[in-house]
Each structure stands twice: as structure tokens, then as C-alpha cells.
Structure 1
């Protein structure tokens, strides 16, 4: 699909007469972050579900690794552009981490396109902005970044898969066994599908987030639901609570045994009913 001068891979599930949910993945991920079975459960609940690869992700337009030719506001325009291309007037936005930042800005800058917000693993004002009143990343994650393994040979599939699995481990909940076999199978799908895996795993973290917008969150007027992992090492749970507190009427839901990760399967029985209820209107 051509959107704003770039090619974005988009998948559209369910009955077009049902309320539309737009899934916006996080930095370094692709639309595969939204598990097929998770999508099926939402569709079975009477929702039209749209997921897409952002720039540099999956099968969408990729830029040279280390030189993204876009910023966060371009990703916001892309989310709206996907809705335009599909003829969707308003959608329920579901964003994870950087995708949550995109969703916040769509709600602020394009409120007429936003039916509701669901924000996961996020922070007030989005990644890339400092919130001195909120706790920083965990000591373990700080140690991981200070001792991070060198980049793999991007042409070596097995090395890239191992690198991807290893980079996910520190973000997972410490109280839950790390499902290495499942993560490896998922990583293989991600690597095999990526147009440029080096760009996918680097460029989204380098983009300019623009001006902070935490002070604008009180202007969001759509229903908001905030999920946050109780063991998130990147944005400790206080970030999620603060985000919910600053959006009028927002509901906060803590996910036990969850780190900085897209809704784990163990949490679907909590997340899916809450999300269906939230998007019913």
C-alpha cells in the first residue's frame, strides 16, 4: 500500500462493518508482534483488525541502516494514512511502546480519527523524552545496554536470530520462564520476512521524537485504556500509572508477570476481554 510516498505492508482482518482496531507495533518490531491468534480472538469478538509494518519494518519501505529518512511525526502521518487508504473514518488505536507514542499523537493531532486509545508499555510523552519524576530503567537493563553484544553479521541468518532472541531476554518478566523456543520460532519468522533486518533493528531507535507532548495529554478526550507490565524494566510501572493519570478518565490495568513486551499469551484472558469492552462503543 502506498502511503505518504512510501510502501507500507498492511493486513486487514474481519468484517468491514465491525468497529476497526488499528494495531501499531513498537520500535524494532513488525506487524508480526501482534500474534495471529491474538488477532483472531479480536476478530471473533466482532472487531475489524488492521495491522501494518511501519517504515523499516517487515515488508515496508526500508532506509539505509543508521540513516532513517523520517521522524516520529512521519509515523503519525503514516498511521492516519493507512486509515485513509482503507477508507476507515475512525479507528480504535492500540499502540505498544513507540507505537503507543504514535497513538498518543494521533489522538492529540487527529482526534476526529480516534475512537479510543489503548496504550501499552508506554510513558507520558513517549520514548525519547526524559521524565525526571519517574524511575529510570532497571539496573539489570542498564547493565545489558552497557555490555550489549556487538551487532551480528546481518547476512548470517542463524546469528541474527540468536541476536534477536538474546536482545529480547532482558525485557521479559523475570518471574516468568523465558520461552526461548517460542521466541526463537518468532525470531525466525521476523528475520525471514524482513526486507532489511539491520534497518529494522536500528533505525526506529534513531528517529527524532520531536517536541515533548506530555503537557498536552490532558487534552485527550477519547476513552483511554492503559496496560503496563508489572515487571517492565525499561519503563517501570510508575510510567504507565502516570500516563493513565494524565489522560482524563483513563483506566489503568497492570499485567502481572509481564515485562516490556507485547501482550504475552498468558495475559490474553485479561487483555482481550478488556480490549473488546473498551472498543465496544
Structure 2
């Protein structure tokens, strides 16, 4: 896989489709690797006429881990003192922007899931001239009153990191079951194969706390989202236990003229059974962005 030198770090990335087509940048969430964007989903988006790019955020997958900086004091950050956070969502958004620069892309469609949605929101706030359209999936704008996890999902988020392969795989399978889509459960064999593949690709978990610190320490994006003019689509599962659907509704309410698509029975994942609804919605929103640019 290619690696991009950006902001003093390296980002692992992969592309699908014709590079002459409009670029659609996929940004994944907390502790997740780019392979959480299923390759089949990426190819379906490429068939819609996009040059699809997925990548590992810093502190995940095969991108640079900032293991030379002190671990954040999460207790203090949750208590209102963000000073120990080594970076913020705005820095992760700058990574995404720099990756587009390496790829020679002036303007892109940006799609983010969970923390990736927060990064995508921050990117369009900070660099509106570089974003053709925004799609925020199972995310929230940073208002602490919306998009909060259920107690069960919060426990998954804060569970101790496993130290051996077998325990890690079992823990991650159970976590996926807890926060996944109740109406669209993943096939057990497929789920275990994905979890094992992700662990074998990168078993490091020390970046999780730094990414979580970035989420909590970053300011509410609601005021900035009010200035967004790019066509915006918000997708959220009505059965999301990790980021309650109120987070998606708040995001859509914050962005003028945003479209909100809530999906019954969808949790905090992207079940293949819903791709026939999700892919055309993303494509239509992106085409609205291209029409706005052309007009």
C-alpha cells in the first residue's frame, strides 16, 4: 500500500476507481482501521463514478503512531482540562487535507463515519473551499447533550485493551455484537475473519486513548456547522447504541439544508444489507456538490 508523508507523519492509504473521477475521501472512526470501510463498499462507490480513497488515521492501522508523546490524562480531559491531549480533531482534519494535497486533489467529497464524521465536519469548517460535499455517518457535532452512548456501549468503549491475539479477537467480536446493527447481525464466521484480519494487520491499541482525547478535548462544532454551504447528508442508525441517533439529528439540524437519513435497525456499523440505500444517497449528495460547483 502507498504511504503519504504529511504533517511530519505517514498515512497508509488505498484507492479504488479512476483517478480522473471526482475524489471521494473516506475517513474512519475511533480506533478503527481503513479496512473498516469494506472493500466491496469502496468498489460500489467507485462504480458510481468516484475515485475512492480510504486511509488509516494517525494512531491507527499502519499509519504513524505517536508513541513518543505522553499518554493523555483522560480523567482530566473528561473533567474539562484538555491540556494533555496531544492533538485535536482539527489536526486529524489537517492530516486529511494534506493527504488530498499529496494526491493532487484540490476539492473532494468527504465521507466520515463516527469519529471520522467529526473529522469530516471539522475539515469542511476549517477548509470549506476544499470540500465539495459532506456526508457524516453515525456521528455527532460535539454538543455533549446529544449522541451519547448507552451504558453498555460506554463499557465497550472503555474496556481494557487485550494483550494477546485470542483475547483481543474475542473481545472485539463481542464489542461488535454490542454496538452493531440489531436488525442486520453480521455472519459469525465473516465477523471473526474480519476481526482477526484487523488484529493481524495492526494489533496496536495505544493510539486509542490519544484519539479519544482528541474527540473529548475538541470544541463543539455546532457554530461552525451553521456556516457550511456544501451539500450535506447525515446518515444515522436508529438503533445506534454507541452514538445515539440524537447525534445525527443534531448534526443535520446544525447544517443549513442538510438531508437526514435515519435507518431503522441500524446500529454503529455499515451493514451490507443497507448499502443499496446508503451508496445511492452518498452519490446523490456528491452529485449535488458537483452541480453546485458547476453552477
TM above 0.5, yes or no, is yes
In the alignment, which residue of structure 2 is the partner of 1:32?
Answer: 35
| Contact 1:29/1:200 (<8 A) preserved | no
Give, in whole Å, the separation in 1 of the partners of 2:13 and 2:156: 32
- What does residue 196 of structure 2 align with? 188
Q: For residue 161 of structure 1, report the CA deviation from its aligned partner.
A: 1.4
2:207 & 2:36 partners in 1: Cα distance?
Answer: 13
Write the mapping of 1:223-262 to structure 2, written as runs, cut at 5 A: 223-261=231-269
Structural RMSD (CA): 2.1
Q: Does 1:107 align with 2:124?
A: yes
Asked if the contact 2:184–2:271 (Cα under 8 Å) also holds between the matched residues in 1, the reply is no
SS of residue in 1 equivalent to 2:267:
coil
Give the counterpart of 2:280 among 250, 273, 280. Answer: 273
Mind listing any 5+ residue stretches in structure 2 that lack a counterpart? 73-85, 291-295
CA distance in 1, matches of 2:88, 2:94: 10
Aligned to 2:105: 88
Report if the CA contact (8 A) 1:19-1:279 is conserved. Answer: no
Number of residue equivalences: 270
Residues 1:214 and 2:222 are matched in the alignment: yes
Residue 59 and residue 145 in structure 1: after superposition, are their counterparts in 2 closer, same or farther (change >3 A)? closer
Q: Among 61, 83, 97, which residue is 2:64 paired with?
A: 61
- Give, in angstroms, the shift of residue 145 of structure 1: 4.9
Distance 1:22 1:149 in 2: 30
- With normalisation by structure 1, the TM-score equals 0.89
Q: Secondary structure at the match of 1:190?
A: helix
- Give SS of 2:217's match: coil
**Which consecutive unaligned segments of at least 5 residues does structure 1 have?**
none
**SS of equivalent residue, structure 1 residue 198:** coil
**Local SS of the residue matching 1:206:** helix
Q: Are 1:138 and 2:168 matched, yes or no?
A: no
- Structure 2 distance, partners of 1:226, 1:204, is 22
Distance 1:233 1:222 in 2: 29
Task: Calculate the TM-score normalised by the size of structure 2.
Answer: 0.85
1:135 to partner: Cα distance = 6.5
Aligned residue for 2:75? none
Of the structure 1 ranges 65-74 and 213-222, higher mean CA displacement relative to structure 2 is found in 65-74
